[in-house]
Structure formats: structure tokens, C-alpha cells
Amino acid sequence: MNQQTAASALKMSPYAVKKLMEQCRNFTAHGLSEFMLALADFNANIRYGGRQFEMLEEILIRFLGKR
């Protein structure tokens, strides 16, 4: 998918999509999927269990440290 098509589909500026696509090249599809699942889990925990900043810190260290 080219940047223009992605920008239209996401209703974002082409520049933002360009930067997003550049950043995504630094990660594997599997890694991004794991990261999104971990963030979804964090979101559920913070909504129902209060503040859990340690969990967020662990997620960020685990995934951003892999680059």
C-alpha cells in the first residue's frame, strides 16, 4: 500500500503516514502485534485495576529495548 492510499484510508496527513511507515520498518509484524496486545492488556488493567505504571514501564522496556 502506498502512502497516499494509506493516508486516505486512515484519514491522516500524508506526512504523518510517511513518518509512521518509516518507524514501522524498525519492527517486525510479529513484534508490533505483541506490542499492541500488551498495550491492550495494559489498557484493560488500568481501566479495571487502577494505576499500573510499573506494567507500562515493563512493556515499554521490553519492546523498545528489542530494536
Q: What is residue 9's predicted lDDT score, i.e. its pLDDT?
A: 92
The model's pLDDT over 7-48, given as tens digits with 9 standing for 90+, comes to: 999 899 999 999 989 988 888 889 889 888 988 888 888 788
CB 42 within 8 A of CB 56: yes
DSSP state of 19: H
Instruction: State the greatest distance between any 2 C-alpha atoms of the chain, in Å, as a whole number.
Output: 41
DSSP state of 7: H
> What is the sign, positive or negative, of the torsion defined by CA atoms of 18, 20, 22, 28?
negative
Q: What is residue 67's predicted lDDT score, i.e. its pLDDT?
A: 55
